[in-house]
Structure 1
């Protein structure tokens, strides 16, 4: 009897138990889903960027908008380092300087076109990230912040004392982007509308920021590497105990952040056509870090909002003359008092999508019949089980 029952149980296929109740599907739509609303908001932002020159195409507006987009690029790179990996970097402006000076030297001294200097800028920033990050990323918290601050000042002082970087005068006459026989200085006409050079460069910067800065950093954060960064940020010891190579994770975040800053530095050098060591002071590292913290560390929309707030607010307050920075500081204090996690933190939920209480599970307190217990235990029909017991 026992042998027959064991043989019968051996040949019965195992089946997963059916769920007790059906799981509700995630909501969809713009107003019913967080993801849908964010995608719609991002699409509206892209439309606004495209339409802005048709609203106001003055040189001042385009210059401020281009600088704001470059700030967004910088903030997205620092968000990888600080927001995702949890590495407090106070010398992030050093990579911004490396990208600007490498592109400036190659295009003015060696006569390279700007597009040819782009791969060299990326490689130089990766090398700088490894050189600076390799010895420093074994440190944590305050010690890491102090060392990165020192490296940022070393890069600025070195550029101030080298002949190839122009010394205190910097590099002047940095050319714009050229493709074949056409350059941004020529502008172009589309649909009977003449687009001047500064408007064309604004579009170019917007294209790079949207594709590389925002989409690239967001996709990296959702992948395997991004999960490793967040694990290191939350608890480095626990992440290492779970098998994550924390040193590789940190240095990869540092190198990627350096590449983002280098691209922004090359765009800024082309935008201003001149750079000097005074353009890379410690204050700018603080402003970029302020944009990340103010917007919400680890949040892509929050970092964009923070970068726009930090870059545009002083310009909007220009009518207050010498009082504008005082007003700007007061605004920062008010924001941090009422929104300590940032204007749009990574855990933000739209007000009309606040999580409600869990739905109560159906009542399964009824006593099951004895045959069904035997059936669930053996996987056999109740009649077969009873026949086995009779034998």
Structure 2
């Protein structure tokens, strides 16, 4: 049992060491305020991308409305802190409210639309994303605080590196455990062949809904963090292109690979910011063309993505190292 406990403890210890190291670099000034904020955005994008990876990468449900749930979580969380004050307790409640709202809405729309398959599901989620965008544009008719097309300002800046780091770790841990559970394996079976899974007695709609709700709740959580990082929200931040951004991250990382999703999400955010700093407004004008070219080249050269469905885990590395050490001692 001792090796098992060590392997279970190792990822948590590694996360703590990484957190302390990054926090020290930021505190000492080696990572400036600007790039520290980009790091926070990269971790928020990681949470959002891990949610879509559950939906598309592991359950095989092609969703084009992920930014809609991102926006719902952002606006609900911002509304809570605007209404009840900006302290640690209300911030935690706001994040929970944003994630719960996104998950509940995903459940309500998922039950009817997840009976669709392939392109039809993508069109349905795209339509829902457009509905949410129009709703946010006219949200000031529901409450003047929401701002409508002018945007929502005055949001307290409560998102810190501590919050985004540990919530990103929690999201990856939850996704990993879900994928390795019997429910996660059922979702993978639905992805591989939904007809065969249905014939074998799996309630395919139930497992698709499970992945959809959990993934959208993660998007809502990421939205709440985003709202309190920049203190301003605008409906244009949650349009179709934002859904395409996170979809591109999941495809680039490799469908069915949490490791690929995490690495690509962090690298993608830093790469885009570096390109924006070098090329300026020209990059923003041609960003859509760059995204399309990257996707086309990837599909031609490496259609399975960067990781190709493989995972890299610390407990797996330690397990292989222990096995090699045991084999070496046995040979000796």
Q: Identify the match of residue 144 of structure 1 among 121, 138, 150.
A: 121
Alpha-carbon distance in structure 1 between the residues aligned to 2:17 and 2:82: 39
Equivalent residue, structure 2, for 1:104 = 78
Within a 5 Å distance, the mapping from 1:178-217 to structure 2 comes to: 201-211=160-170, 213-217=171-175
Q: 1:106 to 1:286 in 2, by over 3 A?
A: same
Hey, what does 2:150 align to over in structure 1?
A: 169
Find the structure with the greater CA-based Rg.
Answer: 1
1:330 CA displacement: 5.2
* In structure 1, distance between residues paired with 2:223 and 2:217: 10
Deviation at 1:158, TM superposition (A): 0.6
TM, length-normalised to structure 2: 0.80
Question: Which deviates the most, 82-91 or 127-136?
Answer: 127-136
Partner SS for 1:86? coil
1:302 aligns with 2:260: yes
In the alignment, the residues of structure 1 paired with residue 180 and residue 207 of structure 2 have an alpha-carbon distance, to the nearest angstrom, of 14
Provide, for residues 101-148 of structure 1, a one-character-per-residue CA deviation record: whole Å limited to 9, x for no partner: 101112213447212223322321221111221211010000100110
Aligned length: 294
Are 1:275 and 2:249 matched, yes or no? no
RMSD: 2.9
Q: Distance in 1 between matches of 2:25 and 2:93?
A: 30
For 1:220 and 1:68, locate their aligned partners in 2 and report how far apart those are by CA, in whole Å: 23
1:74 equivalenced with 2:48 (yes/no): yes
> In structure 2, which of residues 275, 278, 283 is the aligned counterpart of residue 319 of structure 1?
278
Q: 2:178 aligns with which of 212, 220, 223?
A: 220
Which residues in structure 2 correspond to 1:47-62 (within 5 Å)? 49-50=22-23, 52-53=25-26, 54=28, 56-62=30-36
TM-score (norm 1): 0.69
Query: Higher helix proportion, which one?
Result: 2
Structure 1: distance between partners of 2:168 and 2:37: 15
Q: Distance in 2 between matches of 1:255 and 1:220?
A: 13
Q: Distance in 2 between matches of 1:210 and 1:119?
A: 16
| Cα distance in structure 2, aligned partners of 1:264 and 1:308 | 14
Over 3 Å counting, the alpha-carbon distance change for 1:95 and 1:339 in structure 2 is: same
Moved more, 39-48 or 168-177: 39-48
Asked if residue 284 in structure 1 is aligned to residue 284 in structure 2, the reply is no
SS at match of 2:78: helix
Quick one: distance in 2 between partners of 1:43 and 1:106? Answer: 30
Distance 1:61 1:231, change over 3 A: same
Q: Which has the higher contact order (CA 8 A, sep 6+)?
A: 2
Conserved? CA contact 1:125–1:259, under 8 Å: yes
Closer/same/farther in 2, CA of residues 337 and 40 from structure 1, 3 Å limit: farther
Q: Show the counterpart of 1:93.
A: 67
Q: How far did residue 306 of structure 1 move? A: 1.8
Alignment correspondent of 2:327 = none
Report if the CA contact (8 A) 1:114-1:175 is conserved. Answer: no
CA offset at residue 293 of structure 1? 0.3
Distance in 1 between residues matched to 2:248 and 2:115, nearest whole Å: 24
Question: Structure 1 residues 49, 241: closer, same or farther in 2, change over 3 A?
Answer: farther
Flag structure 1 segments of 5+ consecutive residues without an equivalent: 1-34, 178-183, 185-200, 354-391
1:333-348 equivalence runs, <5 A:
333-347=296-310
Matched, 1:130 2:107: yes
User: Mind listing any 5+ residue stretches in structure 2 that lack a counterpart?
Assistant: 1-7, 318-332
